[in-house]
Amino acid sequence: MATAEKLLLVHRVNIPGTMRYLSGGEEWIEVEGKSVRQIMRNLDKIHPGFLDKLMIDDRMAPGVAVAVDGVVTNALLVPLKQSCELFFIPAIGGG
């Protein structure tokens, strides 16, 4: 029987329309991870190119935010204790 440490958390990640070309048009992708940063890295392993859009120098890229279960955060390393829904929110241009 698996222990709690060995159980993998699978999260639903919403891909914004401006980034769906990286996911082959998929709107939702299930990704494993114990933190937002790990989810972003695993997403990039599934669909290369996401990390370049989401992170710079191991930090959230300027103009990009992430919401975890509806709460916007920049805490990339906080452990996720349960499966979540993540939304990556790119900056909206205009003037």
Q: In this predicted model, what pLDDT tens digit does every residue of 60-82 receive, in sequence order?
A: 888 888 999 999 988 888 888 89
pLDDT above 50: residue 1: no
What's the predicted TM-score (pTM) here? 0.84
Contact 38, 24 (CB under 8 A): no
Report d(CA 84, CA 93) in Å as an integer. 28
Residues 21-60 pLDDT 10s: 999 999 999 999 999 999 999 999 999 999 999 999 888 8
Q: In this predicted structure, what is the pLDDT of residue 73?
A: 86
Domains defined along the chain, listed by start: 19-90 (3.10.20.30)
Element (H, E) at 65: strand 64-68
